Amino acid sequence: MNVLVIGNGGREHAIVQALKKSPKVDKIFAMKGNAGIGELAELVNVNYCDVKAVGDWVDAHKEIDYTVIAPDDPLALGLADELESRGHRVFGPRKNAAIIEASKAFSKELMKKYNIPTAKYETFSDYEEAKAYVETCDIPVVLKADGLALGKGVLICKTREEALDGIKEMMLDKKFGSAGNKVVVEEFLEGPEVSALAFTDGKSMKPMITSCDHKRAFDNDEGLNTGGMGTFSPAPFYGEKTEKEVMEKIMIPTMNAMNAEGRTFKGVLYFGLMKTKDGMKVIEYNSRFGDPETQVLLPMLKTDLMEIFEAITDERLADIDIEWESGACVCVVLASGGYPVAYEKGKEITFGDLDKDVILCHAGTKMKDGKLVTDGGRVLGVCAKGATIEEARKKAYANVEKISFEGMHYRKDIGIKYRDVERE
Ligand code: AMP
Ligand code: GLY
């Protein structure tokens, strides 16, 4: 079959690499893709947030049998609904289910209604009311813009002054645009974080192996929030007891809650979780694969990804076994100088002799005059497997050192955190 993959980052390159291994997949198309994806797929230059234009393109290209929607924005805009209504097969939740990521106010309300453990919160649409609340609430406090803000609409405020400034920036100055029309003011939680992703068809839930992201730009979790500067898998503290707790108290209740609301979720549900002193709690939901989590998850997947996608579309996920390699995988993101704020594009990328088994996931790259150049903030994910996280980490960094472009920066501490957290 011929598959169209929507998206253009490292996550999509990892998805395309996994699909390429499937005996079921003949040809892959990618909208819009990047230079790495372009080596495996035919690139299609259509704006994937224009859902009608994507629908028209798929209608016109009868050879496409299946479409995988990877990023959050086209899902929130209803691309799955648009393609389904035109009779096409898709992977990705409908708009009414993608809201679990697209609106923090919705997801907080859902968790409250169905007793899913999360931080306590209040939601405000009125600046004066939010201000009055923040003047007396416990500090630190967390402010979240309601809508999608590329992972950047969250402010952790250590002082009351910061919190009052934050409310003003979001609600009056519209720093995150309309995402800040509504703001969630949330209790500050502490503990190690894990990205627990699961495949679901609304009837069953099959967790993937776990991973840990590094959202801040610099070592020791300093600097601004980014889309993610690196990941490792598995989370060292996530043992059988935790897995059972998450399944029983968080994953299954979320699937059931979405069904009860008439918003059946089919796709990948991403649970951003924190291990607090009161147990595992949900920090956020995403309606899709994570980036760069996917870069360390899919290389470890032994089962045919296309088979899983189709099983979800056809609601027979319960019938298939999903197998993972044991061992570990680490992904170090190479970013453009200045990312996540202002950065230049078009810098030539050069490579030394990389190890054969290192996996490169292209994010912001393109070909220009026969040369590979940077084309975004996050440029490449350098991924390596090993028997342990330490082994994978050493291999990833040994290869990172063989890659360069002007201004390149990366974190040197991916794969170190949580080593000392007790595994339960
Ligand atoms: P989010 O976009 O909701 O994942 O938030 C971005 C990051 O902010 C998370 O990965 C956490 O590190 C942090 N964060 C979000 N909510 C809280 C909270 N209630 N307490 C502490 N940290 C939080
Ligand atoms: N790495 C975080 C995310 O994909 O949202």
pLDDT of 393-404, one tens digit each? 999 999 999 999
- What are the tens digits of pLDDT across the range 301-318? 999 999 999 999 999 999
Round to whole Å and give the CA distance between 104 and 118: 12
Identify which ligand lies nearest to the alpha carbon of 270.
2
- Residue bearing the CA closest to ligand 1, atom 7: 154
CB of 291 within 6 A of ligand 2: the answer is: yes
Strands 371-374 and 230-233, bridge-based pairing: unpaired
Round to whole Å and give the CA distance between 38 and 225: 29
CB of 71 within 6 A of ligand 2: the answer is: no
CA of 286, closest atom in ligand 2 = 5
- Residue bearing the CA closest to ligand 1, atom 8: 154
- Residue bearing the CA closest to ligand 1, atom 19: 188
Instruction: Say if residue 341's pLDDT is above 60.
Output: yes
CB of 293 within 6 A of ligand 2: the answer is: yes
CA of 151, closest atom in ligand 2 = 5
Q: What is the pTM of this model?
A: 0.95
Please tell me the total number of residues recorded for the chain in this structure: 424
Instruction: Scan for tokens 């405020």, then name that residue.
Output: 157
CA of 289, closest atom in ligand 2 = 4
- What are the tens digits of pLDDT across the range 211-248? 999 999 999 999 988 999 999 999 999 999 999 999 99
Structure tokens at 323: 């197998």
Instruction: Say if residue 149's pLDDT is above 80.
Output: no
Report the separation in Å between the CA atom of 275 and the middle of ligand 2, taken as the mean of its atom positions: 18
Over residues 155-161, mean pLDDT: 94
Report the separation in Å between the CA atom of 71 and the middle of ligand 2, taken as the mean of its atom positions: 10
CB of 142 within 6 A of ligand 1: the answer is: yes
CB of 273 within 6 A of ligand 1: the answer is: no
Round to whole Å and give the CA distance between 319 and 216: 39
DSSP H/E element including 95 = helix 95-102
CB of 151 within 6 A of ligand 2: the answer is: yes
Helix (H/G/I), strand (E/B), else coil: 307: helix
CB of 411 within 6 A of ligand 1: the answer is: no
CB 374 within 8 A of CB 337: no
Name the pLDDT band for 153 (thresholds 50, 70, 90).
Answer: confident
- Residue bearing the CA closest to ligand 2, atom 4: 290
Dihedral class, residue 221 (left if φ above 0, else alpha if ψ from -120 to 50, else beta)? left
CB of 375 within 6 A of ligand 2: the answer is: no
Q: Please give the DSSP secondary-structure letter assigned to residue 235.
A: -
Output 245-249 pairs: Cβ under 8 A, ≥24 positions apart: 245/279, 245/280, 246/196, 246/207, 246/271, 246/273, 246/280, 247/205, 247/207, 249/116, 249/117, 249/279, 249/280
CB 363 within 8 A of CB 336: no
CA of 290, closest atom in ligand 2 = 4
Q: At 361, give phi and psi (nearest 5°).
A: -110, 115
Compute the 3-state secondary structure of the chain and give helix, strand, coil in percent, each to the nearest 5: 30, 30, 40
- What are the tens digits of pLDDT across the range 378-417? 999 999 999 999 999 999 999 999 999 999 999 999 999 9
Q: Where are the alpha helices (DSSP H) in 222-343?
A: 240-246, 252-260, 293-297, 305-313
Instruction: Enumerate the β-bridge partners of residue 186.
Output: 121, 142
Closest by CA to 404, choosing from 354, 329, 340, is 354
CA of 291, closest atom in ligand 2 = 4
CA of 215, closest atom in ligand 1 = 10
Amino acid in the structure at residue 57? W
Residue ranges with strand state E in 254-392 = 267-276, 279-286, 328-335, 350-351, 359-362, 365-368, 371-374, 378-386
CB of 228 within 6 A of ligand 2: the answer is: yes
